[in-house]
Structure 1
């Protein structure tokens, strides 16, 4: 992603975005819980990591389905900024999204990811808890919570969160942390 040529362009765009969403009320997020549950059952039965990755990507399509066009545009901008390592810009977009759509779990999950990248793990956990309140089957948020808790040195809580995430998707890339000898292996399975 290219950086804006003018230093104030991101501030102007965010101010315009904020004023547009202030004029509207965010509708409820789409309910994809049954579809996600079906995908969880599929990923649990997957034969290999490649098949599981395809199924996991389908979950992301549901989680990243914002409540309306405005929310989708904010989410997309925030994700683009995060991908370009404009973490301050991404954080600003996700703040706007969470303020506009406080019942949309992915806004909190994405803001938590930015805070994780900023190594603000405590703030990430707060947002991940909210994302999981809104979407208890959000495997990525649960996995992110495990990683954030691990970074904070809260190993028992991290182990629990990762264990719950792996129950839903045993193919998560983070599964190595819970393997025997891993830092989040279940107690009593040390090498």
Structure 2
């Protein structure tokens, strides 16, 4: 009997090793992102700025491999359908598999923001920015989260950082004159 148990254990361990993959490094899109940021800063129209912002999203949402991409895509679809529990489970799975992939944390932060778990969102956004310091969407997401926490001065500074990278982000209206994150001294 013992050899049979050993054989079964060996098969199970071998199968586990085959299933347990290691996430490869995330694609390095830093040069392309830098170019898009420079183009966005120079864009003269909202349409052009939005097109460049969409291209930035394509880079951030380019997962390290097919399994990670499938988890990311499913989680984003669940989030869009307001299945926040399912989306959170997917992003937890993505982070466990690819702990150095910034977008996993950014997407989990978005779900936590929607769930109004702002403290958890801040932690994930900070991790996103540790991994991808020029992730404009994460910076603006952090500004929104800080604003929700009542940390208005920090939110204002953070949004200004995002706008310095991409003046066309949707949240730019918050920093417009009269907006809740308008620069101090510039109110109407």
- Provide TM-score, normalisation by structure 2: 0.89
Q: Which residue of 1 aligns with 2:34?
A: 37
Q: Which residue of 2 aligns with 1:157?
A: 154
Whole-Å separation in 2 of the counterparts to 1:152 and 1:103:
27
Matched, 1:56 2:53: yes
- Structure 2 residue matching 1:156: 3-state secondary structure: helix
Aligned residue among 77, 96, 104 for 2:93: 96
Whole-Å separation in 2 of the counterparts to 1:25 and 1:63:
20
Whole-Å separation in 1 of the counterparts to 2:142 and 2:114:
13
Taking a change above 3 Å as real, the CA distance of residues 78 and 119 of structure 1, as seen in their structure-2 partners, is: same
Alignment RMSD (CA, Å): 1.4
Question: After the TM superposition, which of the residue ranges 73-82 and 21-30 deviates more from structure 2?
Answer: 21-30
Displacement, 1:144?
0.3
Q: Which residue of 2 aligns with 1:188?
A: 185
Contact 2:106–2:138 (8 Å) recurs in 1: yes
Q: Which residue of 2 aligns with 1:147?
A: 144
- Structure 1 residue matching 2:170: 3-state secondary structure: coil
Matched, 1:85 2:67: no
Give CA-to-partner distance per residue, 1:13-71, whole Å, 9 cap, x none: xxxxxx89960111111110110010000111111111111111111111000001110
Taking a change above 3 Å as real, the CA distance of residues 72 and 20 of structure 1, as seen in their structure-2 partners, is: farther
Number of residue equivalences: 173
Structure whose CA Rg is larger: 2
Displacement, 1:106?
0.2
Matched, 1:66 2:63: yes
Q: Which runs of 5+ in 1 are unaligned?
A: 1-18
- Provide TM-score, normalisation by structure 1: 0.88
Whole-Å separation in 2 of the counterparts to 1:41 and 1:22:
42
Instruction: State the 4+ residue runs in structure 1 displaced beyond 6 angstroms.
Output: 19-22
Matched, 1:75 2:72: yes
